[in-house]
Amino acid sequence: MSEQRDFDVVVVGGGVIGLSCAWRLAQRGARVAVVERGEPGCGASRVAAGMLAPVGELSFGEPELLELTLAAARLYPEFVAELEAASGEVTGYERLGALHVALDRDEAAQLRRVHDLQRSLELEAEWLPPRKCRDLEPGLTPSFHGGVWAAGEAAVDPRALTAALLAAACAEGVEALTGTEVVGGILEGERLTGVRTRPAHESGKEVRRELSPDTGDNVIRAEAVVLANGAWSGATEWLPERARPPVRPVKGQVLELRRRDGEPPARRILASERVYLVPRGDGRLIVGATVEEMGFDTAVTAGGIHELLREAYRLLPDVAEMELVDAIAGLRPGTPNNLPLVGPGEIDGLVLATGHFRNGILLAPLAAQAVADLLSNRRSSLTRYRPHKDERAVAEVGQTS
């Protein structure tokens, strides 16, 4: 039998972005439901390495993204402290610092160029000779050409973060509907006034947009629908085509290793041009990540594992002795210009919180703040970003008055 329920906001997708938005909205008094077709955090948020690394992830020609990632990194310590207090759970947040190492001459030339850019932007990044790199991380390969030390970079355990967000959101009154898929939108004229849901194991291919009482689907009415379904948001067939954000899945494979003697696998985040290694407090080492345009494919491949292990071994030879615990793949929500899409959608009632590509764990506090500000009619005191109506994938960043 179908059921209808009313909320102020319904959030589609229970990843790090959807849960952060739900928590912040509920804190401001909104009645919020999160609809997640699997378990919370079962998408990209489960696979992410959890680096909070605006300096190391810097690319040429992306000043707007840098502004967002720096703002988010500044918010993080307070965000996790508040979250841990509200949820009673730890997030694994730690300011480890990151060491980017050049393994050969070509890599050194490229790393020098990136370091010049970092310095021109006055970012915290210092060039170190091999001896000083080894002081920071004794297990590094014996022969390399120096590195860049970014002392301010941090990491969080995304699975612990998701669990803490879920607990904090539920404590604030958010209703988490797991194992439930959004299969339709309720459109009244040009306005989205809710969604239609179905138990995930029952949902098939059929998509309906109109409200018809005999479908058997449950209906959630809400003032606003926040689209936070990550890599799937560009394929949201229940939205009119013009309202679907230009998001595509970008596959990433990662490995989890563990030292068998229980010692920490590394002290810092380590990276070369082709791989990064992120140590977790529980003794695991995350090795990431491939970047593949493969649609919605999430197969772990022999080639992917080979590439990651080879490059990890070149950087940290101890890797060869570690236990291989897991190999997984996830889908980053990519946009045409690598900027996230957060703000009003193309139809009334729709709010976007998607397209966070390689930085969704880092950007979560900022996205949540922007969505909560938007829906409580406040202008963000820090940074606002919204999709540009003409180019559709341009984030607007700036201090607001």
Footprint on this chain of ligand FAD (rule: CB under 6 A):
12-18, 35-38, 42-45, 47-51, 181-182, 228-232, 252, 254, 288-289, 330, 332-333, 354, 356-362
Long-range contacts of range 78-84, CB-CB < 8 Å, 24 or more positions apart?
A: 79/364, 79/365, 80/156, 80/161, 83/23, 83/161, 83/164, 83/165, 83/168, 84/164
Closest separation in Å from C-beta 131 to ligand FAD: 29
Q: How many other CB atoms are there within 10 angstroms of residue 51's CB atom?
A: 26
- Give whichever of 229 and 272 is closer to ligand FAD, judged by the CB atom: 229
Q: CB 264 → ligand FAD: shortest distance, Å? A: 19
CB of 142 to ligand FAD, least distance (A): 28
Nearer to ligand FAD, 43 or 146 (CB): 43
Residue in the block written with tokens 């008094």: 29
Identity of the residue, 37 or 280, whose beta carbon is nearer to ligand FAD in the bound complex? 37
Query: DSSP assignment of 15-45, as one string?
Result: SHHHHHHHHHHHHTT--EEEEESSSTT-SHH
Pairing between β-strand 51-52 and β-strand 154-155 as defined by DSSP bridges: antiparallel
Cα separation, 81 vs 88, in Å, equals 10
Q: Which is nearer to ligand FAD, 132 or 307 (CB)?
A: 307
Query: Smallest distance, Å, CB 297 to ligand FAD?
Result: 12
What is the closest distance, in whole angstroms, from the C-beta atom of residue 261 to ligand FAD in the complex? 26
Contacts of 259 (CB under 8 A, 6+ apart): 265, 283, 285, 318, 321, 322, 323
Nearer to ligand FAD, 118 or 359 (CB): 359
Nearer to ligand FAD, 118 or 354 (CB): 354
* Closest distance of CB 195 from ligand FAD, Å: 8
| Residue 111 CB contacts under 8 Å (≥ 6 apart), including other chains | 100, 102, 146, 147, 148, 273
DSSP 8-state code for residue 104: S
Angstrom CA distances, 132 to 56, 64, 80, 99, 150, stand at 19, 33, 31, 11, 13
Q: 211 or 366: whose CB is closer to ligand FAD? A: 366
Task: Tell me whether residue 278 or residue 322 sits nearer to ligand FAD (CB atom).
Answer: 278
Residues 60 and 255: their CA atoms lie apart, in Å, by 28
CB of 44 to ligand FAD, least distance (A): 4
Give the nearest distance from C-beta 12 to ligand FAD in angstroms. Answer: 5
Percentage helix, strand, coil for the chain under 3-state DSSP, each rounded to 5: 30, 25, 40
